[in-house]
Chains A and B, each alone.
Chain A
């Protein structure tokens, strides 16, 4: 007998009892006892006189969507879990909501979901319209299905550095999950942590979006923060002032910093806006998305100081701070770089040392790859003395002093 059939036979009270006895949690941004969570939703709906609907989805804040793997791998299980949750919540209305862009996935599930009375939709959860619904996470659906297949083991789902989603015991230390020897920072859930902080357990740092990702010396935290903020901006529905406009301001500041135009006051402003966002928004997106910027600036001040004050990107990622030059002593005057440069900013002719006009160069690096002599270099530091006019190969003398 399938998990759902079992649950249905048991009836609501017994289902709730079982969920309670296994200690199953709703695994949203915060973990909370599933039975408490469902009861609270039931009360809210009753108070407003609305019909309760069970809605299983990802968190709005989740831009990486690693949990979709659960759905892709075993759709039936998630659908069953969703239907079981509906029994537990005491409603016949259940919906499985997938991100807007996952239309194909949703379409492939509809037929399977129909017999369970589960509707499959694509939408970004409108938190206000769902005020009277029981919202649960897809991962919680997996737990519920396991529970009624009698194979439930407690634990937390994580994907380390983009690897497969796995369920691990919550006592597991983060430092045991990934090699942190090269780590500059670690993204755990919606924030960055230092390597030292990763001595904490999964349960303590709780990656609500299942993400553990190690950033090494080759990664720029400012650049990474900007990208994360941009993803959030793309995903935010934009209805709330603090989420919509706050994200724009936060991203703007990161972009300015990576472009070498960072200002000292950005730290305070990020803190003021970011913190206000957390408690001035109704859904996980607004509440979580500033966390990445707050933790980056709060825990990695050196990175910011390097960008803002020293005008350099320690990882060599931010193009504003790198320089690309042709080494005059190695250039053979082949012209390969000149052919690939999309900005047409390389000057040269056969048998002459090629020169890059730094003003027009946008540091795309195409010439570096094209040069077979490997004499075009990227540096975050000083550039050696270069010819200031076209010079024949071999004729440029490094002046010594």
Chain B
């Protein structure tokens, strides 16, 4: 240890510690620009100069190492003069107009100018004349604003070990760039954006930065978009390192049914994955699936929490993702939880909507088993008719009844024999019951549910399957992959069609369509459909399946205040899920409509936390299941990293898959999975970098 004195304040610091850091950590502000807490000191800007007893002249404090007995002054007229001179020299090559700069308001240089004072104007100003370079994905370089503090160079070379950026000279001007001004991707940049993070000025910028979003959200869009905010890059890293036990522990910190999600998650995360800007997005779902399939239940089980029994009883109605999740966490908070489920097994729509060829049933059963092992009682085949009465036996109730009733569109012929509803059709199909389907099937609807119906029909032996929807091909909500696979299986897709009528006298004989010319919403947000004249189309069929939405199996008799006669109204969708009946909460699809399993999981988590609080708990359902080690900021060089394409899952050919309900997507193979996970840009690493400390963080520090 060394005792040093800064501005009369005695500090106990480690021998050899960085004097500037010692000051900043102890509430003494010294202006600085090239220094950054996470980078090796450089000593190039000279803003941080101080005076040291026993040494003539000013010395930069960022390169000064603490020695016992050092006496340091951070303020004097001479220091002020030197800092001003340093700033003036810096600004001589910097644009004078801040107002057009995207960094305006967040710029460390700007704040430094405010601190040190306005320059005198005695120096020769110049414009460097570099062009702004937006040719790279994710990152903009505007070298005219560079003050050559060298932070980006150190971040890229010393912190990340990627060695893409370095000082270069063009004519008489020094700037920062890649060798021979190559594109970042061609220079093997890893797009970690550490350079943009540490740049104090508006020179290297994140293209996605937005004042409307929280920084964490635009920096890490995958996590932001995941409704449950799963720590995606953390588990991708674990998979990359082959540590599946750690990976699943990270996943389970947020998701109690990771295997189900690994097979069928809609992946909002991947749609916003920053790798979209470089090559293919990360295969987030498939990586999760791999880790979940390899779950040895070791690490997370050891740390899984179970609070002592509280003596409180909770009834959850519905064993879908929302209900199962809420029940799991409520049990872990110490409450006695019973789920009442109408169907013969748990799983909700994942078991009675999503077809088995996408999600094998044993996987659902295993996930449910883990939840039961936690102590949750599940009573299947028990339909709750009068929810309010449950409050007699339970301290709190959660309605998680989903949307299990199909919606029939109003149109001629909609109740002819041969007209089926998506929910019934898929449920019967799942139960192995007679569906009432004929030989020639027409599915109305363009979402994933419609494709589940169409593809199930193929598997049940339909001779022809047509699928028609109002949306144009590029507006269809089903995934492209889903549509392509359906077409491979022989399903004929008819986008942009109006449903005119279902034809037939006493049984369906077909459907009349017309081509949509334009489809939009008018100023009153009413849908307007313009039809193309003479575009009448008749498709023959003996079965029509409506796949145009589903709603909860509820009506006014339930006692709840409902929205549009079916959906349960809660006080606040996120923060207060209590219904119009005190003590009864609601979560999942029955509140906000059919969305996704992961959304239902998150809704269930929120409900668990709120019910726990309602029952006197602290509502903290969070868990630390993984080892939580800090990732290595040194990512090194990987040749051709930016262009790496996604590794593809193994998918059975159409001929092999279309006559059975067996799983056909076998995921990414053992040999590829680590490499696929290794493609992640690790966008979260950037969030480890310390934020800059400016004089505003220190009380009354403005230079007099």
- A244 CB contacts on chain B under 8 angstroms: 148, 174
Question: Can you spell out 16 A-B residue pairs with CB atoms less than 8 angstroms apart?
Answer: A128-B43, A234-B172, A238-B174, A239-B150, A244-B174, A245-B93, A248-B93, A248-B124, A249-B89, A273-B85, A273-B89, A276-B82, A279-B57, A280-B58, A280-B82, A282-B43
**B 657-678 to A, binary, CB cutoff 8 A, 1 in contact else 0:** 0000000000000000000000
Do A241 and B90 contact each other (CB < 8 Å), given the known contacts A234-B172, A249-B123, A269-B122? yes
**Chain B residues, CB < 8 A from A269:** 122-123
- A239 near B82: Cβ-Cβ < 8 Å: no
| B629 close to A (CB within 8 Å) | no
Q: Does A265 contact B (CB under 8 A)?
A: yes
A-B contact sample (4 more), CB < 8 A, given A241-B147, A279-B58: A239-B174, A248-B124, A265-B122, A276-B85
Asked if B45 is an interface residue, CB under 8 A from chain A, the answer is: yes
A224 CB → nearest B CB, Å: 19
Q: Are B122 and A241 in contact (CB under 8 A)?
A: no
A272 pairs with B92, CB closer than 8 A: no
Tell me which residues across on chain A come within 8 A of B167, comparing CB atoms.
237-239
Question: A265-279: which residues lie under 8 A (CB-CB) from chain B?
Answer: 265, 269, 272-273, 276, 279
A248 in contact with B46 (CB, 8 Å): no
Tell me whether A241 and B43 are in contact in the complex, defined as CB-CB below 8 angstroms, given that A248-B92, A248-B124, A265-B122 are known contacts: no
Check if B416 is an interface residue, CB within 8 A of chain A.
no
Chain A 242-275 interface mask (CB, 8 Å, partner B; 1/0): 1011101100110000000000010001001100
The answer for the CA separation of A241 and B49 in the assembled complex, in Å, is 13
* Nearest CB on A from B80, distance (A): 13
Given contacts A244-B148, A265-B122, contact A237 B85 (CB under 8 A): no
Inter-chain contacts of A242 with B (CB < 8 A): 46, 86, 89
Contact B92–A245 (Cβ < 8 Å): yes
> Known contacts A239-B167, A272-B85, A276-B85; is A245 also within 8 Å of B90 by CB?
yes
Interface residues as binary, B136-158 with A (CB distance below 8 Å gives 1, 0 otherwise): 00000000000110100000000
A-side interface size class: 20 to 34
Question: Across the interface, which residues of A come within 8 angstroms of B45, CB to CB?
Answer: 241
Most buried by B among A234, A241, A265: A241
Contact of A249 among B43, B86, B92 (CB under 8 A): B92
CB distance from B437 to the nearest CB of A (A): 74
Tell me if B42 is interfacial: C-beta within 8 Å of chain A.
yes
Q: How far is the CA of A240 from the CA of B150 in the complex (A)?
A: 9
Docked complex Cα distance between A215 and B150 (Å): 40
Q: Which residues of chain B are within 8 angstroms of A248 by Cβ–Cβ distance?
A: 92-93, 124, 126, 172
Q: Is A233 an interface residue when CB atoms closer than 8 A count as contact?
A: yes
**Are A241 and B148 CB-contacts (below 8 A) given A248-B92, A249-B123?**
yes
Question: Provided the pairs A237-B174, A239-B167, A265-B122 are in contact, do residues A246 and B57 lie with their beta carbons within 8 angstroms?
Answer: no
Instruction: Say yes or no: A239-B148 contact (C-beta < 8 A), given A244-B174, A248-B126.
Output: yes
* A interface with B by C-beta (< 8 Å): 128, 233-234, 237-242, 244-246, 248-249, 252-253, 265, 269, 272-273, 276, 279-280, 282
**8 Å CB interface, B102-120 against A:** none
B172 close to A241 (CB less than 8 A): no
Q: Provide the residues of chain A in CB contact with B122, threshold 8 Å.
A: 265, 269
Chain A residue numbers with a CB within 8 Å of B147 are 241
Q: Mark B290-319, 1 if CB is under 8 A from A, else 0.
A: 000000000000000000000000000000
Whether B148 contacts A238 by the Cβ 8 Å rule is: yes
Q: Bound complex: CA of A272 vs CA of B43, how far in Å?
A: 20
Bound-state Cα–Cα, A379 to B26, Å: 67
B92:A239 contact, CB within 8 angstroms: no
Q: In the assembly, what is the distance between CA of A56 and CA of B31, in Å?
A: 37
Q: Is the CB of B174 within 8 A of A241?
A: no
> In the complex, what residue of chain B is closest to A48 when comparing beta carbons?
B16
**In the complex, which residues of chain B have a beta carbon less than 8 angstroms from the beta carbon of A239?**
42, 44, 148, 150, 167, 174
Taking the complex as formed, is B564 at the interface, i.e. its CB lies under 8 A from any CB of chain A?
A: no
CA distance A252 to B125 in the complex (A): 10
Cα(A111)–Cα(B524), bound, Å: 83
Any chain A CB within 8 A of the CB of B169?
A: yes
Residues of B within 8 Å of A237, CB to CB, are: 167, 169, 174
* Chain A residues whose C-beta falls within 8 Å of the C-beta of B85 in the assembled complex: 272-273, 276
Contacts of A241 in B (CB 8 A): 44-46, 86, 89-90, 147-148
- Asked if B148 and A280 sit within 8 Å, CB to CB, the answer is no
In Å, the complex CA distance between A187 and B441 comes to: 98
Residues from chain A with Cβ under 8 Å of B92 in the complex: 245, 248-249
Give A271 to B44 CA distance when docked, in angstroms. 21
The 0/1 profile, CB within 8 Å of A marked 1, for residues 77-95 of chain B is 0000010011001101100
A126 to B102, CA, bound (A): 33
Distance between Cα atoms of A310 and B86 in the complex (Å): 33
Residues of A close to B174: CB separation below 8 A: 237-239, 244
Residues of chain A contacted by B89 (CB below 8 angstroms): 241-242, 245-246, 249, 273
Cα-based distance from A253 to B122 in the complex (angstroms): 11
CA distance A234 to B44 in the complex (A): 19
Query: Residue on A with the closest CB to B90?
Result: A241
Bitwise interface map of B from 16 to 50 toward A, beta carbon under 8 Å scored 1, else 0: 00000000000000000000000000111110000
A-B pairs, 3 with minimum CB distance: A238-B174, A245-B89, A252-B124
B168's nearest neighbour on chain A, judged by CB, is A238
Q: How far is the CA of A249 from the CA of B85 in the complex (A)?
A: 12
- Which A residues are CB-close (under 8 A) to B58? 279-280
Contact residues in A for B150 (Cβ distance below 8 Å): 239
- B524 to nearest A CB, angstroms? 61
A244 to B58, CA, bound (A): 19
In the docked arrangement, what's the CA distance between A280 and B42, Å? 12
**Cα A269 to Cα B122 with chains together (Å):** 9
Which partner residue on chain B sits nearest A236 by CB separation?
Answer: B174
Bound together, the chains give a CA A252 to CA B167 distance in angstroms of 23
For the complex, give the distance between the alpha carbons of A293 and B352 in Å: 86
- Chain B residues with Cβ below 8 Å from A279 are 57-58
Q: Distance (Å) between the CB of A229 and the closest chain B CB?
A: 11
Please name the residue on chain B nearest to A246 by beta carbon. Answer: B89
Residues on the A chain within 8 Å of B93, using CB: 245, 248
Closest to B42 in A: A128
